[in-house]
């Protein structure tokens, strides 16, 4: 008797997760394709960002002055941290709509628990914000992976719970940022804002873990094809839980960073980061179907969208126009990275040829 999917005396069939003698060439080709896709996304958004700054220099020179860029970079860094978290979720084939709730609750928790401004109170407040975010993200991931609830529904429900908790904790009133926190986060390191340093460090750490470690490679493989992962004996649950939980902690980090550079942050600060975070991920080339992604491209896209807002406000455009521009950029990003070309046909997805059945003696 032979086990399911294995011929008598023969090797086990390839799962596509790891290289085997029969699929080494296809694995190498797939890796080259993934790397070229990541590079293409980073290069494309990098060129678009350079073009945007050139346009800004022509239409509104004051928006690209030294002072304007110095004021823009901390907010771009905060959006980049949120986009990194959203990238991890999208790489698992999901989307996270709980960004506003996690972000806003983190702001409220930190400003309330650390109101005394002592180092100990600030540390405990930040730790509490991170812990709450991690638990909320893990619950969302569990509901998605184990209960098979659509990510949009699961994270939207979690967002509603977190928004309710935000209002309950804050009692509807904004609080001032503790002096000790603003002294640290609002400072610079070798002339670079601390928020920018944090965003760069997180981009490097997450990028290295996802792209250069065995766990990261399995993480991408699970996101690209969970069924193949299950067939290979890999449990997708922990990778989905990890993606949503780490993403939520990153949203909390962004909330803490914003708290440190704003005197009196509002209790709904996270609302302005949902659409830009999704748009940055998509414009950076991360596949909405899961799998490959680039946190570096997401970071560059965050700079792009922050400068778009800066240019729009400098030109005196209403906030509604800024939202329309973000939505348009999101649509163009989806069209570009899905293979649509004006006047051409959409790229057809590659289809593997069916394997011949294995005869069992």
**191-222 residue pLDDT tens:** 899 999 999 999 999 999 998 999 999 998 88
Phi, psi of 148 (to 5 degrees): 60, 35
Q: What is the pLDDT of residue 314?
A: 87
Highest mean pLDDT among 109-118, 127-136, 302-311, 340-349: 127-136
* Band of pLDDT at residue 338, cut at 50, 70 and 90: low
Q: 188 forms bridges with which residues in the sheet?
A: 193
More confident residue, 32 or 170: 170
* Band of pLDDT at residue 40, cut at 50, 70 and 90: confident
Query: Three-state DSSP class for 149?
Result: coil
**Residue 253 and residue 195 in contact, taking contact as beta carbons nearer than 8 Å:** no
Could you count the other beta carbons within 10 Å of the beta carbon of residue 149? Answer: 15
d(CA 220, CA 218): 5
**Residue 91 and residue 286 in contact, taking contact as beta carbons nearer than 8 Å:** yes
Is the per-residue pLDDT at 357 higher than 80?
no
* Band of pLDDT at residue 330, cut at 50, 70 and 90: confident
> Which residue, among 136, 72, 95, 35, has the nearest Cα to 281 in the 3D structure?
95
CA distances to 90, 202, 212, 330 from 84, rounded to whole Å, are: 10, 8, 17, 16
Q: What is the pLDDT of residue 326?
A: 72
> Which residue, among 263, 240, 280, 216, has the nearest Cα to 78 in the 3D structure?
280
The strand ranges marked E within 163-293 are 188-189, 192-193
- Percent share of the chain, pLDDT over 90: 48
Q: What is the pLDDT of residue 190?
A: 87
Q: What is the pLDDT of residue 336?
A: 67
pLDDT in tens, 215-241: 999 998 888 888 888 888 888 889 999
CA distances to 28, 29, 30, 215 from 24, rounded to whole Å, are: 6, 9, 10, 19
């Amino acid at each position: 008797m032979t086990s399911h999917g294995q011929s008598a005396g023969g090797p086990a069939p390839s799962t596509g997760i790891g290289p085997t003698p029969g699929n080494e060439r296809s694995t190498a080709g797939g890796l080259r394709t993934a790397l070229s896709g990541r590079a293409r996304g980073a290069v494309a958004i990098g060129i678009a960002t350079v073009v945007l700054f050139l346009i800004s220099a022509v239409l509104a020179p004051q928006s690209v002055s030294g002072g304007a860029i110095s004021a823009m970079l901390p907010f771009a860094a905060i959006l980049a941290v949120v986009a990194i978290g959203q990238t991890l979720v999208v790489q698992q084939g999901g989307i996270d709509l709980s960004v506003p709730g996690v972000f806003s609750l983190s702001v409220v928790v930190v400003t309330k628990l650390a109101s005394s401004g002592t180092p100990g109170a600030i540390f405990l407040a930040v730790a509490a914000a991170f812990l709450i975010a991690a638990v909320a993200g893990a619950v969302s991931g569990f509901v998605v992976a184990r209960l098979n609830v659509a990510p949009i529904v699961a994270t939207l429900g979690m967002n509603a719970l977190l928004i309710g908790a935000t209002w309950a904790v804050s009692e509807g009133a904004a609080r001032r940022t503790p002096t000790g926190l603003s002294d640290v986060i609002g400072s610079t390191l070798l002339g670079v804002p601390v928020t920018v340093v944090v965003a760069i460090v997180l981009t490097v750490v997450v990028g290295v873990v996802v792209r250069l470690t065995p766990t990261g490679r399995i993480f991408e493989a699970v996101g690209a094809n969970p069924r193949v992962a299950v067939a290979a004996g890999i449990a997708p649950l922990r990778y989905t839980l990890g993606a949503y939980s780490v993403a939520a902690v990153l949203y909390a980090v962004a909330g803490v960073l914003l708290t440190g550079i704003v005197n009196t942050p509002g209790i709904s600060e996270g609302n302005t980061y949902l659409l830009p975070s999704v748009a940055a991920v998509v414009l950076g080339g991360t596949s909405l179907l899961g799998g490959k992604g680039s946190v570096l491209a997401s970071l560059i896209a965050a700079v792009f969208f922050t400068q778009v807002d800066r240019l729009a406000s400098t030109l005196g455009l209403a906030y509604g126009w800024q939202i329309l521009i973000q939505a348009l950029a999101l649509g163009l990003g989806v069209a570009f990275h899905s293979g649509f070309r004006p006047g051409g046909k959409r790229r057809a997805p590659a289809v593997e040829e069916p394997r011949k059945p294995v005869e069992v003696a």
